[in-house]
Chain A
Amino acid sequence: MGYHWNWGIFWEMSPEGTGTYLDMIIQGLRMTLITAALAWAIAFIMGSAIGVLRTLPGRAAPLLANAWIELFRNMPLLVQLFLWYFVFPEVLPAAWGIWLKQLPGAAFLTSVIGIGFFMSARVAVQVSSGIEALPQGQRAAATALGLTPVQTYRYVLLPMAYRIVLPPLTSELLNTVKNTSVALTIGLAELTARARAVQEFSFQVFEAFTAATLAYLVINLIATLAARWLEARVRVPGYGRA
């Protein structure tokens, strides 16, 4: 192949004049981590709330929860980000739209909210399946003890449900990290976008994407190990997997 490898490229100054090519990758990595962390916080909190709503008695709450889940789960993430970024400001009153569009971190905010909501639908399904996986007797016992619905969820159902769905939630965390790469389409300078910029400037495409690949791999390995550790730490002796 007529490709000229140059692994030393990362130590060369980039034409942006703010540092080396390695610094560009590191800036991207930092943006990926911040975006993923905030998006995961939204996904986890909203997802847990919607997941609980889905298991409440009555009709209204599960209906609302299912509407949220179907809305955000059935549309490609790319389309959702475009809708939030380009269409949403246009349907607001003109002055608000302009304000939102001229906001300095518009791409970042849109990515955090867009990815957060998209992932929240997936987290909601996991949390509600965790609750439904518990024997009916647990809810009945809590009610018999005179616990209010809030207390039932807080002290009886959720602690066990989270333990059951911890492994699939770990996958959702990893998906959140990987999904931040979609945000490059609305101009967020995250890891994949910076790797692309490195290849545009230097034409060293394989080196740039190798660095990005390794970075994603390392982030996700660390996240996986942390989740394993958490699983082991919170395991209730004698319950679930031996």
Chain B
Amino acid sequence: MRLIPLALAVLCFALPAAAADLTGTLQKVKETGTITMGVRESSVPFSYLDDQQKPVGYAIDICYQVVDAVKKTLALPDLKVLTVPVLSSNRIPLMANGTIDLECGSTTNNVERQKQVAFTNTHYLTASKFVAKAAAHLTTIDALKGKTVVSTAGSTNIVQLNKANADRNLGITVVAAKDHAEGFLMVETDRAAAFVMDDVILASFIASAKDPAAYAVGEEPFSLAEPYGIMLRKDDAPFKALVDKATADFYMSPAGKANYAKWFQAPIPPKGLNLNTPMSKGMLGAYARPSDNPDPASYDK
């Protein structure tokens, strides 16, 4: 019986020291030789499928920087990268059960969600705004008084719309759409006067509409700009430290700025749309001083 502790001790020494002190995601990546990214199918320009059904986008490029850092740290030059398409309804279970290691998309980082998952440095800031037909000449939130306005069910945007409606006593009929595409469709078909959503999502819908000039985004935002982050498993400090460092280094380098310009200020696949969205003041700050702070006010300086 004394042989068992001895055998265990020998076994411990036999294992390579590097693998022994790895935990969580890094340990899993080392053992399997693969890292899995969760990608979105239609979150333009963050994470979507191009005409060859290959996941591309601003957040995907950032995730590849993280993968490079993982390769270096674990000395795994031929680390395999898998991509798994995720939806907003299944990304949490897939992350919790280890199917995906990084979620590369447009997920809002907030305090509530941090009870379940962790986020790395903010890669985008977006405010809720509304889009309406240009012919309707709506620029302020007050101009929506008494109209039917749509937003996506379960989004923070619909919460902000309801709040503005109640606070300012606007008598807006709020309608919930199942997804962003349906919300925009409701404005296109005049079922609703305006669609409230993150400004960057509105920009991509307008750019891909049949007649982009027929739509205008209202000037007044419903909220401070909220941060988007790449999602990681909670309570995995070594992996989070690695991802935080990789993203911070990337944002502060000229390559990071070039990556932003590639997706927001130049034609993007598959149709060559140009979102024409230069970095806002908050974004310049988020790139100069990378932060995973979920508080929108911290970026508004």
Contact = CB atoms under 8 A, between A and B. Distances in A.
The answer to whether A and B come from one shared complex is yes
* Chain B interface, DSSP helix/strand/loop, else mixed: mixed
B159 A16 contact: yes
Interface string A193-228: 100110111111110000000000000000000000
Interface string A69-95: 000000000000000001001100000
A139 to B, nearest CB: 48
Contacts of A154: none
Interface stretch (A128-136, A167-175, A179-187): A179-187
Interface size range on A against B: 20 to 34
Contact of B112 (A4, A17, A106, A203): A203
A200 B155 contact: yes
A17 B95 CA distance: 28
A15 B156 contact: yes
A104 B191 CA distance: 10
A98 interface: yes
B175 to A, nearest CB: 6
Binding site of A, secondary structure by majority: helix, strand, loop or mixed? helix
A189 B176 contact: yes
B97 A1 contact: yes
Interface string B97-132: 110000000000000110111000000000000000
Contacts of B115: 4, 6, 202-203
30 contacts: A1-B97, A2-B96, A2-B97, A2-B235, A2-B236, A3-B92, A3-B96, A3-B97, A4-B115, A6-B115, A6-B116, A15-B159, A17-B159, A101-B190, A102-B173, A104-B173, A185-B178, A187-B153, A187-B182, A193-B153, A193-B154, A193-B176, A200-B88, A200-B154, A201-B112, A202-B112, A202-B113, A202-B115, A203-B115, A203-B117
Interface of A: 1-4, 6, 15-17, 86, 89-90, 98, 101-102, 104, 106-107, 184-187, 189, 193, 196-197, 199-206
